Amino acid sequence: MVRKHPAELLDAGPSQRAVHRTAAARAPLPSTISAGYANWAECDEKVERAATNGVNVIVWFALSLLIDDGGRPYISGGPNLTCVAGVAARLRARALPTHHFVSIGGWDAPHPNTTVSADQWWAAWEAWDAAAVSAGLPGGFDGVDWDLEGDDALASASNTFTPALLHLIADFSSRAKASGRYVSLAPAHSYLDHTTDAFSLSLTHPARCWHHDFHYSGRNVYAAVLALAPPHTFDFVSLQLYEGWSLANCRLHGPSPTALADYLRDLIAGMDAGWPVGFEHEPSLGLANASVAVRATRLVLGISNSWAAESEADASGARKFLFVPPARLGAAWARLPQRPRGLMFWDLGDEGGGTPPLYLASELNRFLHVR
């Protein structure tokens, strides 16, 4: 995720909280997920078109959890709630079942303030969500998505996760799950990497496979969230294979390229089986070394649309951000012995980009068959 958001203070009063408590039970998540992220604060016809053409989980983007000068928590950012409610209403009227998540984080966005407890943050989020109910979104948002990432400025505090932050994510998520919401994670590929037991709180390591001068890589930091949260807290995990100079990109387009179907087969199987992570390298986290896993039934593979095909290239012609043509992906999908829960892409705002125009929601639906 690459674009900054305008800050917007949103709050809700006691009457909105009362509306929220009457929310109906949530529909089950689809057996095959086709998720699309709206761009920063985006709510427009591109979002609705993508949902019509195949996206069945819209991730609206993005919130920040901040404190004011008095130390009070508030929710900043996100899309216009009245617009979101209108999109949801039109999709319901057309019998196009769609789940609506709201994301927390994004690239260059501040990490949640950890001087505020998970209980306080959950109360603030419920008040914000109640404003969505008042705006016309029945039951509020179906789920919360965590997309905390790094920052262009290497010295930024957002390029390090703290133990307190990891505990906050896990605790907030367990409260969201207990309330009947769905919860998802969207780690960059290096933030949840089954090919290494390395663990670090820093997001400024060199890329592992190639382009070692690129210092925006993590070491399994999201594995700690999986280990800290109660079992089954997270309904799905969207792995961003399009991270800058990612391991997936190296394996597919680097010095010794692997066939796409073979790479995806090994990735899915490896994450499903689980892998050891050396949490003891960070004693302040309070975790012993352990194995984590993302079962195929909860794994969603994150891909890009055409913006990545136009990203900067190295001397060999390889692009910084992984782009896989949808026809190639569909052919590989058909060969997989074990399929993941689905696919996610960034972003809906770039639908129709490229030459010829690429509408990824439609192209993915050719083989996901969700609409």
Let me know if residue 208 belongs to a domain.
yes
For residue 91, what are the domain limits? 9-21+32-368
Q: What is the mean pLDDT of residues 113-121?
A: 97
Q: Residue 81: its pLDDT value, please?
A: 98
Let me know if residue 27 belongs to a domain.
no
Q: What is the mean pLDDT of residues 169-190?
A: 98
Let me know if residue 313 belongs to a domain.
yes
Q: Residue 294: its pLDDT value, please?
A: 98
Q: Residue 200: its pLDDT value, please?
A: 97
Q: Residue 113: its pLDDT value, please?
A: 97
pLDDT band at 14 (very low <50, low <70, confident <90, very high): very low
Q: Rounded to whole angstroms, how far apart are CA atoms 315 and 313?
A: 7
**Average pLDDT taken over every residue of the chain:** 93
Q: Residue 5: its pLDDT value, please?
A: 33
Q: Residue 22: its pLDDT value, please?
A: 37
Q: Residue 20: its pLDDT value, please?
A: 40
Contact assessment for residue 199 and residue 221, using Cβ atoms and an 8 Å cutoff: yes
Let me know if residue 226 belongs to a domain.
yes
Q: Residue 339: its pLDDT value, please?
A: 98
Strand partners, 176: none
Which is more confident, 220 or 12? 220
Is pLDDT above 90 for 15? no
Amino acid occupying residue 37: Y
Q: Residue 23: its pLDDT value, please?
A: 41
Question: How many distinct structural domains can be found in the chain?
Answer: 1
Q: What is the mean pLDDT of residues 108-119?
A: 97
Is pLDDT above 50 for 131? yes
Is pLDDT above 50 for 2? no
Q: Residue 25: its pLDDT value, please?
A: 81
CATH number at residue 313: 3.20.20.80
Is pLDDT above 90 for 17? no
pLDDT band at 3 (very low <50, low <70, confident <90, very high): very low
Q: Which candidate, 258, 342, 265, 338, places its Cα nearest to that of 298? A: 342
Q: Residue 10: its pLDDT value, please?
A: 34
pLDDT band at 205 (very low <50, low <70, confident <90, very high): very high
pLDDT band at 219 (very low <50, low <70, confident <90, very high): very high
Is pLDDT above 80 for 11? no
**Angle (CA) 206 272 261, round 5°:** 75
Let me know if residue 123 belongs to a domain.
yes
- Asked which of 1-5, 37-41, 122-126, 171-175 is least confident by mean pLDDT, the reply is 1-5
Is pLDDT above 80 for 24? no
Let me know if residue 2 belongs to a domain.
no
Let me know if residue 1 belongs to a domain.
no
Let me know if residue 345 belongs to a domain.
yes
Q: Which candidate, 1, 280, 26, 9, places its Cα nearest to that of 131? A: 9
Is pLDDT above 90 for 116? yes
Judged on CB neighbours under 10 Å (0-12, 13-18, 19+), 163 is middle
